[in-house]
Amino acid sequence: MDQKPAQTVLKGSNRIWENEFRLADTGKSAPAYETIQVRRLSPALGAEISGVDLRQPLGNQTFQEIHDALVDNQVIFFRDQDITMDQHKDFGRRFGPLHVHPVIPGPEGHPEILELHSDEKAQYSASAWHSDVTFEKTPNLGSILIARAMPDAGGDTEFASMHAAYEGLSDKWRHFLSGLEAEHGSEHVFGRPKNEKDLRPNAVHPVLRTHPLSGRTGIFVNSVFTTKIMGMKPKESMAVLDFLYCHIETPEFHVRFKWEVNSIAFWDNRSTQHRAIADYFPQTRTMQRVTVNSDDVPHYRPN
């Protein structure tokens, strides 16, 4: 059967081939870099960085260019970085103090490292869209994840741009969301506290968030940690959140990363969400993550 050209299918209101939005920054030129190479992977977000060895101390210019590439691309990727746990932490500390997870302990001697391990007995996949630990009063800047062991196939991670998701909304939706706040919790994910030192933080943040460096607006609710829209009845809150979660799944907002051992992904939690693809069980997948703290309390500043 011959496929008809798209324009012959667009009749009446059944415009199934027409994009409903345009990404705001797809036409802008890429910034110039002198010490690294940056290859954009999708129009919405994501770039692969080459020309740097993270086993070596970063010079100030290289650090600044990696920092700028992160803000501009929202998630950046590195290949063939056989770094130790100490080198992993050293790289993270160039961007800020490291976070210690309030619930999940790190490997012995490395409380700043969160190990995410899956095999035939333990299946940890983080397969729902989320931004890391948004239940903190001051959520983190970003996370740096390295692959230590990978399955023969599968185990990719998808990332979504919350800037692109916001820009894909109608003006009326943007206006409606601009005054809303949402609660983010941890107890419903990690269980009730076992003792007084076993913290289960929760926080209230604006539904829309302005990035402190780029100035772009993004959606700041996620399906794992966000529990409700403040001031709404439960059904109203659920309807708004369900719409946003469905909207975030739009493929044009995404980039998908295929891991190899010693690959690294560094994502900006202020502007992205991510999810792991749980398609590799019972094979082994072991990842280690450091998370960089931030001093930026989420806020919304109308453009």
d(CA 162, CA 265): 17
What pLDDT shows up at residue 123? 76
Q: Which residue has the higher pLDDT, 124 or 191?
A: 124
Residue 175 among the catalytic residues: no
Active-site residue among 209, 274, 275, 285?
Answer: 274
pTM beyond 0.85: the answer is yes
Beta bridge partners of 288: 115, 146
Burial bucket for residue 270 (CB in 10 Å: 0-12, 13-18, 19+): buried
What pLDDT shows up at residue 287? 95
With cut-offs at 50, 70 and 90, classify the pLDDT of residue 32: confident
CB atoms within 10 A of CB 52: 18
With cut-offs at 50, 70 and 90, classify the pLDDT of residue 20: low
Q: Residue 230 phi/psi, 5° resolution?
A: -65, 140
With cut-offs at 50, 70 and 90, classify the pLDDT of residue 107: confident
The pair of three-digit structure tokens given for residue 56, joined into one six-digit string: 């070596």
With cut-offs at 50, 70 and 90, classify the pLDDT of residue 196: low
The pair of three-digit structure tokens given for residue 72, joined into one six-digit string: 């501009």
- Residue 220 near residue 207, CB atoms below 8 Å: yes
Distance from first CA to last CA of the chain, Å, rounded?
A: 49
29 pLDDT exceeds 90?
A: no
Q: Compute the mean pLDDT over every residue in the chain, rounded to the nearest whole number.
A: 89
In a 13 Å sphere around the CA of 294, the CA atoms on its Cβ side amount to 21
Active-site residue among 99, 184, 285, 289?
Answer: 289
Residue 130 among the catalytic residues: yes
Domain residue extents for the chain: 33-292
CA-based nearest residue to 45, from 214, 229, 177: 214
Active-site residue among 72, 88, 99, 132?
Answer: 132
What pLDDT shows up at residue 138? 94
What pLDDT shows up at residue 290? 96
Active-site residue among 88, 99, 130, 254?
Answer: 130
Give me the mean pLDDT over the 195-223 stretch: 89
CA distances from 234 to 10, 211, 228, 243 (A): 39, 29, 7, 14
Give me the mean pLDDT over the 50-72 stretch: 96
The predicted-structure confidence for 262-300, as pLDDT tens digits, reads as follows: 999 999 999 999 999 999 999 999 999 999 999 999 999
Give me the mean pLDDT over the 111-128 stretch: 86
Domain spanning 33-292, CATH architecture: 4-Layer Sandwich (3.60)
117-126, 199-208, 242-251, 278-287: least confident range: 117-126
The pair of three-digit structure tokens given for residue 84, joined into one six-digit string: 């130790």
The pair of three-digit structure tokens given for residue 61, joined into one six-digit string: 């210019």
Residue 132 among the catalytic residues: yes
The predicted-structure confidence for 150-162, as pLDDT tens digits, reads as follows: 999 999 999 999 9
Q: Tokens 């667009």 correspond to what residue? A: 10
With cut-offs at 50, 70 and 90, classify the pLDDT of residue 133: confident
